Amino acid sequence: MDVAESTGNLADQLLRLTRRLHRAQKQYLQPLGITPAMSRLLRVVSHSEEPLRMVDLAQRLDVVPRAVTTLVDGLESFGLVRRVPDPANRRVIRVELTAQGRDALQRLRDARRAAAEDLLAPLGPEQREQLGELLAALDRDPSRSC
């Protein structure tokens, strides 16, 4: 098998796996009324020390700012986050976790874990670590190192 072929196969494998991951997540998150993308945003919000701006969220999620608006809209409608205007700069809006959002996080974490666990079941602990390292290596933007 030539290089192009095997490289393409890796891409196929990744896409197929992610499709399954998406499906599993959706299934597990559905009872909570939250989509995978919203869950991801909620996690980012919860992991930040201070409330993040919309732009920050877009950067961390690696999406365009417009996409964040929709996700925050959804989470806000469920009362899980709250938009807070920044007094220092009236252009910016910061996104805070609500008490309800904090409550939801644990259930979300369980759901996420169950979903990922379904897919990652075939891998042992050391293999997961290996996979994590490989993915981390890929996370580094190659265009930045030039």
Site residues (vs a copy of itself, CB under 8 A): 3-22, 25, 36, 40, 43, 62-63, 109-110, 112-113, 115-123, 127-128, 130-132, 134-140, 142
Tell me which of a copy of itself, DNA, none is bound by residue 68, counting a contact when its beta carbon lies within the kind-specific cut-off of 5 to 8 angstroms.
DNA
Q: Is 61 in the site for DNA (CB under 7 A)?
A: yes
Nearer to a copy of itself, 77 or 130 (CB): 130
Contacts with 26 (C-beta within 8 Å, 6 or more apart), sequence order: 35, 36
Pick one of 42, 45, 54, 108: the residue that binds DNA (CB under 7 A). Answer: 54
Three-state DSSP state, 35: coil
Following DSSP, what letter does each residue of 70-110 receive, concatenated?
Answer: HHHHHHHHTTSEEEEE-TT-TT-EEEEE-HHHHHHHHHHHH
